[in-house]
Structure 1
Amino acid sequence: MTKILYLMRHGQTLFNILHKNQGICDSPLTQQGIADAKRVHEYLQQNNIIFDHAYTSTQERASDTLELVTDQPYQRLKGLKEWNFGLLEGESQRLNPPFDSKLGSVGNGYVQYGGDSADAVQKRMVKTLTNIMIQKGHQRVLVVGHGASIYLFLKNWIPLDELLNHIELRNCAILKFSFDDETKKFTYLETINVN
């Protein structure tokens, strides 16, 4: 039987507005981020979308978003955390390593600053989300996470050209996937933007 994953990016934060890196560091949701998450809550109610399980990263901006979207119990998982940007945490995004269009990321660019490689984050996200979805009774699951780590997860399942040119990952965007228990593969279905 096909399972469905709703993978959502957290609401807008103060560091999003200031264009600062927030990987393992955190900043609070803005009033816009709170309002957008409440709109997602309304959308889910209006479309009778009910989850049997919900998960979030251990970071406050993600768990705060999830609590605005649904009042059901949830589990926090370290495997869903954002990319660690090392010494560039909290710094201007202008200081980031250059994006490599062939790789579709900065590759090992943050490693020199004590951060994670893109491959390490991608493997962690694929493993964590697969481990969530293979569990019994996990037919329709909500996961709230972070922009860069979700992007790297997407990169594992979607051709790079399509990802770069056709998928927009706004704050509070929901990426809908099907998951096949036998092959353990995710298939991207659509992006839901309510803001």
Structure 2
Amino acid sequence: MSKTLYLMRHGETLFNQLHLIQGWSDSPLTKRGQAQARIAGEYFLKQGIRFDAAYSSTQERASDTLERVVPGLSYQRLKGLKEWNFGRFEAQPEFLNPKPPYGDFFKYAGGESQSEVEERLFETLSELMAVCSERSKVLAVSHGGALTCFTRATGNQLSRGLKNCCILQFHYADGQFTLENVINHDFNPLEEDN
């Protein structure tokens, strides 16, 4: 028997719009980010996907996204789902990022190493999937850097960065995560004012 994890990135934020590095610092969802979350929620509804459990990073941009994807669903906020801590690079212009892989680069700036983020995410998601009943469908909302690290830790590689509200669908069985699908949604700018 298996379980399914829908691992999702938060909607667009003010820092995303301004091209600022956003790790443990936070910024609010933009109108576009709110609309992206609603579009993701519509996807789950159209697919008939109902969640048995839901989790979010403790950061506001992630919990605000989850609340728009599945309004009224109770969920748990977990520190283990937080974004990468970029240390002194927090809230700095994105052009200061080195080329990946980052390795220990951010650890020397007072943040986390790539391996620390991989381990944190893998441990957190493994623990929550292990306690779910068979055939469970689980939603977890996290962050771009953290999701990329987790995907790498599962032995999968993403060909490009994760768009806001991108959904990674993983099959979970016998302690192993297998990436089954990467779901990106087209954003209709006309919905921004709704």
Give me the TM-score of the superposition, normalised by structure 2: 0.91
C-alpha deviation, 1:46, in angstroms: 1.4
Equivalent residue in structure 2 for 1:191, among 172, 182, 189: 182
> How far apart are the structure 2 equivalents of 1:54 and 1:137?
13
C-alpha deviation, 1:169, in angstroms: 1.3
* Identity value in percent: 47
Consecutive unaligned residues in structure 2, runs of 5 or more: 187-194
CA contact (8 A) 1:158 1:188 kept: no
Q: Summarize deviations over 1:65-119 as a string: whole Å, max 9, x none.
A: 00000121000000000000111110111122x224xxxx211001121010000
> How far apart are the structure 2 equivalents of 1:24 and 1:156?
21
- The aligned counterpart of 2:189 is none
> How far apart are the structure 2 equivalents of 1:63 and 1:95?
28
C-alpha deviation, 1:168, in angstroms: 4.6
Q: Summarize deviations over 1:158-180 as a string: whole Å, max 9, x none.
A: 444xx2x3x55110010000001
* Aligned pairs for 1:28-67 within 5 A: 28-67=28-67
Question: Secondary structure at 2:61's aligned position in 1?
Answer: helix
C-alpha deviation, 1:61, in angstroms: 0.1
RMSD (CA atoms): 1.2
- The aligned counterpart of 2:121 is 125
- Which amino acid is the alignment partner of residue 193 of structure 1? N
| 1:3 and 2:9 matched | no
C-alpha deviation, 1:193, in angstroms: 1.4
Change in Cα spacing, 1:159 to 1:50, as seen in structure 2 (3 Å) is closer
- The aligned counterpart of 2:21 is 21
> How far apart are the structure 2 equivalents of 1:68 and 1:49?
15
> How far apart are the structure 1 equivalents of 2:132 and 2:67?
24
> How far apart are the structure 2 equivalents of 1:136 and 1:94?
41
> How far apart are the structure 1 equivalents of 2:185 and 2:49?
14
C-alpha deviation, 1:132, in angstroms: 0.6
Give me the TM-score of the superposition, normalised by structure 1: 0.91
Consecutive unaligned residues in structure 1, runs of 5 or more: none
